[in-house]
Structures are given as C-alpha cells and as structure tokens.
Structure 1
Amino acid sequence: MAKHGKDIEGGVQDAVDVEDAVDVQDAVEGDDAADDVSSTGVELTAPASGAPHHGFFVRLYTGTGAFDVVGKRKLWFGISGLIVLIVLASILIRGFTFGIDFEGGTKVSFPRGDATTQQVEDVFSQTLGKAPESVVVVGNGATATFQIRAETLSNADTEKLRDALFDKFQPKGEDGKPSKQVISDSAVSETWGGQITKKALIALVVFLVLVSVYIAVRYELYMALSALAALVFDLLVTAGVYSIVGFEVTPATVIGLLTILGFSLYDTVIVFDKVEENVHGFEHTTRRTFAEQANLAINQTFMRSINTSLISVLPIISLIVVAVWMLGVGTLKDLALVQLVGVVVGTYSSIFFATPLLVSLRERTELVRAHTRRVENRRRNAAAKTGGEVGASDAVEPETVGASVATAEAAPDKPAPGAKPVRPSGRPSGKRSPRR
C-alpha cells in the first residue's frame, strides 16, 4: 500500500513538472507571439480577432506603441526638411529685423496723450526732413507712450525734435502740467549690439560642447549626435519664424533663444532615457527590433512630453498677455515670443526628429542590422508554422488584452483532466521504480 502511494505521488509529481514546463513554454511563445511585428516602415495590419479597438486618447494615454512614429520616419524627415528649407529661404531673402540695440540709432519717447501715430510721423518728417524708422505705441491707457526710432541723430537734431514734439502735443508730467522733461531720448551705439551678439555666440558654443560631452558620456555617441541635430533644428526654425513674421530681434530675444535650448534638451533626454531603458540588452532577444523598441519609447513618453509642453506654454501665454495687453513692456513680449515658439518646436523635434534620427544612425551599425535580420527570420518562421502572416497589431499593444489573446492562440493544448501524464519525449509515464 505504501509502495502504491509512492507510485501515485511520483505520477502526480511528473504531471506537475510537465504542466509547469508547458506553462513556461506557453508564456514564452505567447510573449513572442504578442510581440511579433513586421519590420518598421511596413503598414500595421488590422488587430487580431477579439482584440479591443481602443480610441485615440486611450492609446495616447496608455502609451502601448499604437503610433508608428519611427516606422514613418521618412515622412517626418520630409516634413522637417521642408520646414528647414522654408526658414532658410526666409533668413537668406528677408533677413531679420534687428532692434536698435543691434543696429544703433536714437530713440525718443514721450506720453501718448491724444496723439496718433501718423501725427507723430508727420512732425518728425517736417522737423528733420526725413521719415523715422518706426513709431510704435507701448502700453495701454494712461501709461501708453510713443517710441520713435530713427538713425543716429546729432545733439542739435535731437533737441530740435524734442522742441517740435512739445510744441505740437504738449505732453503732461506727473503734476498734470505740460512739461518738456517727459520727452526722453537715448542714443545706442551699434558696437554694443555687436558685443551682445559675440557673447551670445560664445555662450551658445560652450553650451553645445558641454551638452555633447555629457550626452556622449551618459548615453552614447549616436544619441549625442541626434540631440545636437535637434538643438540646431530648434535654433534654426525659431530664428526662421522670427524672420518670416518680422519680429524684432532684441537682446531679450537672444536671451530667450538660449533659454529654449535647455527645454529642447530636457525633452529630448526624457525620450532618450526611455529608449535606453527599452533597448538595454536588445541584441539578446528577438522580440522586437531596435526601431520598434525606440518607437515604443516614444509612445511611452508621449503624454509626458505633451504635459511638460502644456505646463511650459501656459505661463508663457500669461506673460504675453501681461506684456502686450496690460503693461505693454516690449522686453517681456520679446522674451515670451521666442520661448513660445521654442517650446513648440522643441517638443516636435524631440519626438519626430531626434529619435527617428537616432534609429537611422543606429541601423547603420552591424549589430543592429544583424539583430533586425534575426527578428525578421524568426517572424517568417513563425508565420510559416502558423500558415499565415504574423500580425503587427499584437506588438502595438503588448501590455493589453491583445497580448493575452495571442498567448491563448499560440499555446498548445494542455493535458485533459484525468489523462495520464505525458513526458516531454511524448511517451506515457510508467510506474516509478521503487526507491532504494
């Protein structure tokens, strides 16, 4: 009786061992089946029968790889190239509208009162025999002032203009009485703007060098090259926007331009950090190609990039509202405009330019090419065994129900309840020999 009990116990143990082995194999095959996708660049196939069709915002929020950014990188490279061509053409043809701090000249300011821009221009032309470069109103309400910009005027011409403006408009001081002292003037040398430009370029070069060294040490050379390319793209596009719309380039613009470099780098590093996590040890598996892992990283950081951009844009918009409609401070307006453009462009480049460029550079290496061939060969073999094409939708949402469906379909039949245990070789297990 004891012997018979031991035999039963041994048979049950064999059955448990075999079932555990089958479960492990099912899990491995199921995971592989769930991660099977076509090579990047090929359109995704329809979801497998029984897999749920999630909405756009659900896929965006879950970040399960539903958006094929890297697979369509030729499209994004084409769009980015078109943007660069447009801004380069504008920079070369239209150029920039530099402020007085860069070109030099004389600026005259006085309270607006009831005067109009045309009246101020007429007084300037009648007094000096030439038109001013610009006449703008800064501020609103009682604090509004006229700012007249002209080429460098002599002391005599400046005094003559002040007298003419006072006689015509009678601007009032704080005591409510007409006062010539409220008409102020300032002369700016163009050499001062040249010094600002030189210092800004030095700061830019130092920043790019330090960033390159850090990313190359922290990540890898290809990531450093991609991040630098994205930074250059951001600078070029932001400068091109200023050229297209005719925004005046001031020292505040230069400061804002240097500021957006930090944001652009921050957003790019967020995506690259996730890419590094996904591709760690990728050459030892055949579940996804390098491009697919990078695309999954983009999807997983989509919401974070969007949230970061929104949080950055909202205070910038508030700054524009305060600067333009409430205070009329030109310096704040220039600083806010360049930051607004830079944040939008930086978010675009980190997702649709930097990471696809990284994938293109890495796919030129033999390690990635060989790994991609292994993945494609395994998928062709799997498709041949199943008699059909392995769908890409299983890898689109590997963490969702689609993965469990693929696992269930790929898993072989388990032993029926009450059936004799089957050894891995396929032979029924017999009675165990008595233990000695």
Structure 2
Amino acid sequence: MFQILSIKGSINFLRHAVPISILSLILVLGSLGSLATKGINWGLDFTGGTVVEMEFSSAVDLNKLRNTLTSEETDGAVVQNFGSSRDVLVRLPVKEDVKSDIQVAHVMEAASGIDQNVTQKRVEFVGPQVGKELAEQGGLAVLVALICILIYVSFRFEWRLALGAVAALAHDVIITLGVFSLFQLEFDLTVLAGVLTVVGYSLNDTIVVFDRIRENFLKMRKSTPVEIVNNSITQTMSRTIITTGTTLVVVVALFLKGGTMIHGFATALLMGIFVGTFSSIYVASFLAVKLGINREHMMPVEIEKEGADQDALMP
C-alpha cells in the first residue's frame, strides 16, 4: 500500500529529462567553445603582478584614481575597494623592463595627488612563473577531486551512479568556467575556491538523491528504475529546496554586499547552485538510468560464511 501511494504521489521528473539533457549538452559545448576561443581572464594570482594596498584619510573616488593611473608603468591597473571606501587595492600586471618598485612609486604618486595623507599598507609581488604554477595546480586540484569522487561513489554505491555523479560535477564545473570565459570575468584564487566549493555542494546534493535511490531499489521491488528514480527525487525535493534556498540567501548577500574581493567567489557559487541543483536530477540520475541501473546492481554482496560447505555436507 505504501509503495503504491509513493509511486502515485511522486513527480515525473524524468519526463523532461531528454530536452533538458540536450540543453545541458548545448551549454557544455558552448562553454567549451568559449574556453577554446576566448580563454579565461586570469587574475594576477595566475598571471603574476604587483598588488598595492593603500589607506586614504577619507572615502576616495575610484574612477578619479583610475584616471590618474595613465602612465605606461601603470597601464592595465585594476583599482578596487578593499574592505571599506577608504581602503583601496591596486593590481598591476607584469611589464617587461619595468620593475615592480617603479610601478609602486607611480601608484603612490598618483594617490598622493588625490590625498596627501594616503598611506601604503601592503605591497605584494607575484612572479609570472609562480602564477603559471598556481594555474596548473588549480586545474590539477579540480581533476584530482573528480577522480577521488569517482572512486568514492563507486565504492559506496555502484559504478553507474559514480559515472553519473562525475558527469554532473564535470557539467557544473565546465558551465561555470564557460560563464567566466564568455563574460571575461576575472578568474583568481577566490574564484578557484568557489569552483571547488561548487564541486562539494553539487556532490552533496547528488549523494542524498543516490542514497534514497539505493534504499528505494531495495524497498520498491516491483517498480521500474524510472519510477524509483522519480520517487526518490520527489522524496528528497523538500530537502533540496530548503538547502538551496538557505544557501542562496547567504550567497546573494555576499554577491551584493560582500565587496569586489569576493565578488568572483560569490558569482561562481551562484552559478554552481543553479546548475548543480538540476544536474543532480537531469544529468546524474538520468545518466544512471540510461546506463541500465537496476535492483540487482543495488543488492549487497553476499559473503559466504566460513564453514558453510562443511555444514551443508553434514547429515
């Protein structure tokens, strides 16, 4: 009786799986195309450069400061507030035959023309080689995370579900990177942290759905895999809505009020939450169904007890 009510009360999510999967494929291919043609707008953390942090005596007009940084040494400088309207961070790209000390001197000279009481709080330099290593290590970190997740889900569930989970995670990461490539948003270490957070967030949602799928395969013995997946997604939907909603409140607050330093991080999380929520349903679960997941694959392996052969031979 419970089984019949569960199936009748479930929502047929997989009814829309084919068109949404086609849309996801188009988004992934478009993202890969953008990454191949436009590339990523790497921040100074990856390309190298100089960071100058200054404190003004009063709120400063960033546009006015940008207009004063017109010399050859400071061309391409990124000016943004850091914490408050009085604190300013200037990021300078690497210039051939120009030392970082000279760039810093030009920045302080321009800032002194706006506020004579400006003070220099911090100067950091990242070499191009260090930035290149950071980019390689960041990409390797994402790849290793996906491989470890594939191994973990394979051991905990089943390889068909594992492939679905990894495909959903790769789908989320590629589309998130595609958005940053398409709009040429700056990609720095905070954005990389956001991408890795998206991997963990999306995996958490996928694991919850998979756990319920495994339970229902053992309980609903007369149901088809599609019915079981639809019922499992329906049962976990309230949890997904609550988790996504509360997370969105925090991320939107960071996006609107967190300042420019974590704007990229919040943008990556916003993209990851939206894309990761539907990928758990229409990529991970649907792919597992297309790979032929069934009840036999979910059955625990029976371990023969020691001495069972001798017991069977005894009269």
State the TM-score, normalized to the length of structure 2.
Answer: 0.80
Output one character per residue of 1:229-265: Cα deviation in whole Å (capped at 9) or x when no partner: 0111011111112122322111111122112211111
CA distance in structure 2 between the aligned counterparts of 1:167 and 1:221, rounded to whole angstroms: 63
Output one character per residue of 1:273-299: Cα deviation in whole Å (capped at 9) or x when no partner: 1111222276x63xx322122112112
CA distance in structure 2 between the aligned counterparts of 1:267 and 1:236, rounded to whole angstroms: 18
CA distance in structure 1 between the aligned counterparts of 2:130 and 2:173, rounded to whole angstroms: 23
Contact 2:31 2:179 (C-alpha < 8 Å) held by counterparts: yes
Contact 2:53 2:87 (C-alpha < 8 Å) held by counterparts: no
Q: Would the alpha carbon gap of residues 301 and 109 (structure 1) be closer, same or farther in structure 2, given more than 3 Å must change? A: same
Q: Which runs of 5+ in 2 are unaligned?
A: 298-315
Which of 252, 258, 267 is the matching residue for 1:323?
258
Which of 225, 230, 245 is the matching residue for 1:290?
225
Contact 2:7 2:231 (C-alpha < 8 Å) held by counterparts: no
- Alignment correspondent of 2:106: 161
Aligned residue type for 2:230? N
Contact 2:165 2:206 (C-alpha < 8 Å) held by counterparts: yes
Q: Report percent identity of matched pairs.
A: 24
CA distance in structure 2 between the aligned counterparts of 1:281 and 1:159, rounded to whole angstroms: 68
- Alignment correspondent of 2:37: 93
CA distance in structure 2 between the aligned counterparts of 1:166 and 1:35, rounded to whole angstroms: 67
- Alignment correspondent of 1:362: 292
SS state at 1:277 partner: helix
Aligned residue type for 2:236? T
Taking the TM superposition and a 5 Å limit, the aligned residue runs for 1:31-46 are none
CA distance in structure 1 between the aligned counterparts of 2:89 and 2:138, rounded to whole angstroms: 30
CA distance in structure 2 between the aligned counterparts of 1:265 and 1:99, rounded to whole angstroms: 27
CA distance in structure 2 between the aligned counterparts of 1:74 and 1:197, rounded to whole angstroms: 36
Q: Would the alpha carbon gap of residues 115 and 339 (structure 1) be closer, same or farther in structure 2, given more than 3 Å must change? A: closer
Taking the TM superposition and a 5 Å limit, the aligned residue runs for 1:137-216 are 137-139=80-82, 142-145=85-88, 147-152=90-95, 153-155=98-100, 157-158=102-103, 160-162=105-107, 164-165=109-110, 168-173=113-118, 181-182=119-120, 185-216=123-154
The structure with more radius of gyration: 1
Taking the TM superposition and a 5 Å limit, the aligned residue runs for 1:257-276 are 257-276=195-214
1:164 deviation in Å? Answer: 3.4
Aligned residue type for 2:18? K
Q: Would the alpha carbon gap of residues 157 and 353 (structure 1) be closer, same or farther in structure 2, given more than 3 Å must change? A: same
- Alignment correspondent of 2:280: 350
CA distance in structure 2 between the aligned counterparts of 1:80 and 1:116, rounded to whole angstroms: 43
CA distance in structure 1 between the aligned counterparts of 2:60 and 2:149, rounded to whole angstroms: 51
CA distance in structure 2 between the aligned counterparts of 1:71 and 1:266, rounded to whole angstroms: 24
Taking the TM superposition and a 5 Å limit, the aligned residue runs for 1:279-428 are 279-280=217-218, 285=222, 288-324=223-259, 330=261, 332-362=262-292
Aligned residue type for 1:81? L
Which of 232, 245, 250 is the matching residue for 2:170?
232
Contact 1:88 1:240 (C-alpha < 8 Å) held by counterparts: yes
SS state at 1:143 partner: strand
Q: Which runs of 5+ in 1 are unaligned?
A: 1-26, 38-63, 174-180, 369-436
CA distance in structure 1 between the aligned counterparts of 2:237 and 2:155, rounded to whole angstroms: 26
CA distance in structure 2 between the aligned counterparts of 1:156 and 1:298, rounded to whole angstroms: 58
Taking the TM superposition and a 5 Å limit, the aligned residue runs for 1:65-80 are 65=10, 67-80=11-24
CA distance in structure 1 between the aligned counterparts of 2:210 and 2:163, rounded to whole angstroms: 12
Contact 1:200 1:254 (C-alpha < 8 Å) held by counterparts: yes
Taking the TM superposition and a 5 Å limit, the aligned residue runs for 1:237-252 are 237-252=175-190
SS state at 2:124 partner: strand
Contact 2:38 2:181 (C-alpha < 8 Å) held by counterparts: yes
CA distance in structure 1 between the aligned counterparts of 2:77 and 2:105, rounded to whole angstroms: 18
- Alignment correspondent of 2:75: 132
1:167 deviation in Å? Answer: 5.2
SS state at 1:106 partner: strand
1:142 deviation in Å? Answer: 4.6
1:118 deviation in Å? Answer: 5.1
SS state at 1:136 partner: strand
